Amino acid sequence: MSIYRGFAGTYTNGDSEGIYSFILDTDRQMLDRTELAARLDNPTYLTFSEDDRRLYSVIKKDGSGGVAAFAVTPEGRLRILDEQISKGAPPCYVGADRENHHLLSANYHKGTVAVYPIGENRGAGPASDVVHHQGSGADRSRQEGPHVHFADYTPDGRFVVAIDLGTDTLTTYQEAKGKLIRQDVLAFKPGTGPRHLAFHPKAPFAYVMSEISSEVIVLRFDAASGHFSVLQTIRALPAAFRGHNQGSAIRIPADGRFVYVSNRGDNSIVLFGADKESGTLTLLDRVSTGGEWPRDFALDPSERFLIAANQNTGSLVLFTRDPETGRLAATGSKLAVPDPVCVKFLHAPR
């Protein structure tokens, strides 16, 4: 039997009080034991250090925002280490390098990418650099200015990749002593609204989920130069769908054979098969998330399960995953968590 501990970041403008923890019992195929792990405002995105000893979170405080660092106890509880707050709206994404030297944040409202050095106590120090994006996009209702939605490291840690929904761009930076130096820019077609990116674990490909156009964009990635180029664009919605939708999360299992994305509006998880030679995608399946507005989802560490976070219905819904076919099946297990926005698991069983 394996027990994995997960954490859910939330919006706190309703019933939520902060970050919640829960467990996945793989033998019983059940989600259980919801607990408030940390009381704070709008911890909307989370990430863990590679050793599971630290959790980093977005935070809103007194009308401003930033990042917070927590120690993770052996019992899976959170203890605050420090926080870094700056004026204005909080960021929407946090990422950390594998060596635990630097933390990144992406700020949708400010259009910025920030770098924070991680100290000896594994907390985040004051920002060593903040880069401001410029420009706008074709959709004046959503792209009136820059909206950085993602900033994280490439798998080898050599570059930082920033995805800007507002300007339809992917920007590659070199990080040198806590400073970001622009290396390359890829422009997507106008009105795409790119949101999040996931790297193929074994091949030189990356995949972007777009929020506005609800498409998956397949990219070739040159790890030496940090350059990306578009290989394929494939729709993530049914051909007959005519309602409002926003693309959201994207995940790839460790074998690289499949790509999963979520749709808010269609309320679905979509399964694509990934060709191992070309990286291009083929639609395989689509399942309902069992709730409304799936803002995020996560594969558990065993990759035998998938958890969908339905924001508007306040639920985490559990699916089994067939590692051979990639297909998902609902287990019937559902856990109440108010306004979930992000789901992350500790790497090792607890």
- The residues, any chain, with a CB within 8 Å of residue 165's CB and separated by 6 or more, are 108, 137, 142, 143, 147, 148, 149, 193, 194, 195, 211, 212
pLDDT digits (tens, 9 = 90+) for 235-260: 999 999 999 999 999 999 999 999 99
Q: Are 272 and 232 in contact (CB under 8 A)?
A: no
Instruction: Give the chain's mean pLDDT.
Output: 96
Q: Could you read off the pLDDT of 172-191 as tens digits, one per residue? A: 999 998 999 999 999 999 99
Which residues are paired to 281 by β-bridges?
A: 274
Query: Exposure of 62 by Cβ count < 10 A (0-12 exposed, 13-18 middle, 19+ buried)?
Result: exposed
DSSP 8-class letter at 246: E
pLDDT score, position 1: 64
Distance between first and last Cα of the chain? 11
pLDDT at 119: 86
Which tokens hold the place of 335?
Answer: 């856990």
* Residue 29 DSSP SS3: coil
- pLDDT (tens digit, 9 = 90+) per residue, 27-45? 999 999 999 999 999 999 9
pTM: 0.97
How many CA atoms are closer than 13 Å to the CA of 158, on its beta-carbon side?
9
Cβ atoms of residues 211 and 195 within 8 Å: yes
Is pLDDT at 286 greater than 90 in this prediction? yes
Tokens 């729709």 belong to 235
Q: Are 328 and 269 in contact (CB under 8 A)?
A: yes
Task: Quick: pLDDT tens for 121-173.
Answer: 778 999 999 999 999 999 999 999 999 999 999 999 999 999 999 999 999 99
CA distance 151 to 288: 29
Please give the share of the chain, as a percent, with pLDDT higher than 90.
Answer: 94
pLDDT in tens, 83-110: 999 999 999 999 999 988 999 999 999 9
Q: Residue 157 has what DSSP assignment?
A: S
